[in-house]
Chain A
C-alpha cells in the first residue's frame, strides 16, 4: 500500500481542489472561499455534527461537512435547492424550539443563529412556536445560563475543561428534554478566563459573562449588523478571482 498520499483531489461544486487527507470538508471549502453555513462547528475544535446545517452531498449522499474528512475523488455539492431548504428548516426549527426574543438579547447582532436567519432571509418559521417553559440559571458567580436560547451545540461541553481536564459542562437527559448543565464543583471554581471563553464560544446568548457590561457596543454596530455571516469566507473567493 505504501505511504499515504500527501494530497487528495476532490471537487467542490464542480471546482477541482487539492486538500490534505484527513481535513474536514468544511475547512477545505472555507479555505477556498466556499462558505458552508455552520452553527455547532467551531474551527479547531473536535466537531459535534449535531446541528446538521453544514450538510452537503458527498457523492450524492447527505453528510455533515464538519465531520467528514476529504477522501480522494470525492464529489461534493454544497449548494442545491434541497440543501438550502434543509438549512432553512434547521434554522426555523431552532427558532420554534426555544424562546428567542432577539430585541432583548445581549447577543443580538453577534448571534450566529440570528445571523443565519438573516442570511437565509427567514421571516416566519413554517413550524408552530413551541413556547417551552425554560429556566434561567443565575446561580453562578461568573456566568448566566439562559436555557431559553440554548441550541445544544455542545460548544461549551467541548471547549471548557478545568486544569486537570475534567469536563465542566455536560448534557442532561435526552431527546426533547436535553439540556446543558454546569458541574456543581468545578462550576463554582471556574476562572474568569474560562467563563469568558465559554460565553464567547456560545453561538447564541445562552451563556453570558457576568462581569462584562451589557450592550457596550450598541445593537446596530455589531459583527453581523455590518455584513452577513459568511462574508469573510466569501471575500476570499473574490480576492482570489480578481
Chain B
C-alpha cells in the first residue's frame, strides 16, 4: 500500500490539530484511503497531543471505520429486519457468489469487500446497501450481478447502477441518488404552504426570544426524537443557563431501525431544518449550530452544504441574520461513523467532541453542560421543523391538531408488509388499524411500534392510539404479516442489533442482551423448557438500571413478544421435561470422536 506517502499531518492541520475534531480527521482519512491505517495513529496522537490508545479508543468504537483495506468497492449490506423480509438472503448470496468472498471478507483480488451493517434508514426500499458511501436500494440478485459486473469493469461508483434517480431533490446534481422519498401522506408540516425564511425575516421582527419560547411552550410541542420532552421547556432551561457560548444541535442520527423520516426531511426540507436551528439559536442566544448526521446519509453531504451556502448568501445564516443587528449564527455539519447509541443526546455530544460515543450520566443535563461543557440544545430534525411552522402559523393553530394530551402531528416511517411503505404525516390520535388501512396492509400478524426499543403488538391491540399517553413513538412502524416467524426473524434480529450497538459501559447492557439471545436460540432449537421461559421473564428486570435509553429498552423485544405472543414461545418448548442442558452431547463430541476414532461413552 502507498499509505506511507499519505500526509496525515495535512488532515490534522485542517482541523487545527484539535483533539475534539478527531472524528472528522478519521472520517477524512477513511474517505481518502478506504480505511484508517495503523501508521495514522502515532501521527494523530502526536499532533493532537494525546495518546495512541486514546485515538484507537475512538477509532475502534465506530462501525464504519475500517482498520484494514476493505476493497476498492466496499459494500455494506443492510441486515435489519425489513431487509431480510424483502429478500436480503438471496441478495447477499449473489454478492458472495459474484465477488468470490464471504461477508466479512475482501475478495482475493482486493476489489470487493462485503460487510453487514445495521439499518441504514432505507426500510421503505429494502434490501439496500451502501457502496463507497453511495446508497443502492431495491436490490435484487439480477441487479447485484449487474453491479458487480460494473465493478469488475472498473466503473466509478456513480455508474454502477442503471436505475434512475429517485424523485424530488434526489435527482439534483448534488445528490443523484436512486433513493426514493415515498412521501405517502402530507400533513401541515410537509405541506408546501411555507416559504423558508419567512419566520426569520418577518416574524422575529415582532417577537423577542422570550416570546418565541412562550409560543413554543403554548403549542405544547414535545420532542419528536422519541423521548417526548417538552421543547419549550428545554429552550427555556438553556436560555437561563449561564455560558460564554451556547450551541444548537440538530440530531439527525436516525438510527432506530425502521425510521427514515429524517432522511426525507433532510432531502426535501433542509431549509426548514436549518431555519429551525436558527430559530432555536435566537430563542436561547446561541451563535453556533451543529447538524450531527449519521454516516449512512453521507450521500446528502454536498446537498446540505449547498443549502447552507445558499442560506448564507441570503443572509439567513451568518452575521446580522435577516438584518437583525447582532444576531449571528452559523451551522457546521458533523458526521458520525456508525453507532446507533450516538443518537442518544449525550453520546452524540461525546462523539461530536471526537470521543467514543458513550452516554454521559445525568445530571448535569446538556442544557446546562453540553458540547464542550457549554449549554446546549439538542433537538430532533422533525421537532425543529415543527417549531418553525408553529411560529409561523401560531401556537393556537398547532394546538388544534392532534389529541387532548398530544398536540400536532407526527411523521411516521412505515415499512414491512404493506403495499405503500413510506412516510406518513398524521395528527396524533389515529389507531393502529387506521394506519394499517392507510398503508394497504393485510393479514397482519403484528406491528412493531417505535422500533426495536418500542413494543411488538398483536391484533387485540390494533385499536390502540398513537399518542404520548398510549403508543408513543419516534416514528418507526414495521408491519409483519401472518407468514413471518416473529421469534426467529424479528425478536432475534432485534436482540442482535442491541448486542452490536451497546456502548458496553454498563454491566447489564453489555451482557444481558447476549444472555437473552442464547436463551432464545435454545428455545428456537427445540431445547427449551419451562424454566427458560421463567428466566426470560425475570432476567430482563435488571435492564432498568442501565445508564441510557438503549440499555433500558434493549430487552423490550423479548419482554413484549413474551407478553403479547406467549403462545409462540410455549409451542416451542418441551413439555414434561424440567431440564435440558441446551445441546446434544453425542452431537457435540461427534467431531472429536471421529478425529480420535473413538465411540462416545454416554
Contact = CB atoms under 8 A, between A and B. Distances in A.
A62 B544 contact: yes
A46 B302 CA distance: 41
Given A67-B361, A173-B60, A174-B502, A167 B51 contact: yes
B54 interface: yes
B507 A51 contact: yes
A174 B504 contact: yes
B500 interface: yes
Contacts of B158: none
Contacts of A67: 361
Nearest to B542: A89
Contacts of B546: 52
A50 B499 CA distance: 17
A64 interface: yes
Nearest to B504: A178
A176 B504 CA distance: 6
A174 B88 CA distance: 26
A50 B507 contact: yes
A176 B57 contact: no
Interface string A9-36: 0000000000000000000000000000
Interface string A32-73: 000000000000000111111101000000101001110000
B361 A181 contact: no
Contacts of A49: 361, 505, 547
A33 B361 CA distance: 26
Contact of B51 (A174, A176, A177, A185): A185
A127 B52 contact: no
B339 A174 contact: yes
A176 B56 CA distance: 17
B61 A90 contact: no
Interface string A206-242: 0000000000000000000000000000000000000
Contacts of A167: 50-51, 53-54
A141 interface: no
A69 B290 CA distance: 30
Contacts of B49: 164, 166
Interface stretch (B421-429, B448-456, B510-518): B510-518
A182 interface: yes
A79 interface: no
A86 B506 CA distance: 13
11 contacts: A49-B361, A49-B505, A50-B507, A67-B361, A69-B363, A86-B542, A93-B512, A167-B51, A174-B503, A184-B53, A185-B42
Interface of B: 42, 45, 49-54, 56-57, 60-61, 339, 356, 361, 363, 499-508, 510-512, 514-515, 518, 535, 539, 541-542, 544-547
Given A50-B506, A68-B361, A127-B515, 19 more contacts: A51-B507, A52-B508, A67-B361, A68-B363, A69-B363, A89-B542, A93-B507, A93-B515, A152-B510, A167-B50, A168-B51, A168-B53, A171-B57, A171-B504, A175-B510, A176-B499, A176-B504, A178-B504, A181-B53
Interface of A: 47-53, 55, 62, 64, 67-69, 82, 85-86, 89-90, 93-94, 96-97, 126-128, 130, 151-152, 162, 164, 166-178, 181-187
**3 nearest interchain CB pairs?**
A178-B504, A183-B53, A170-B53
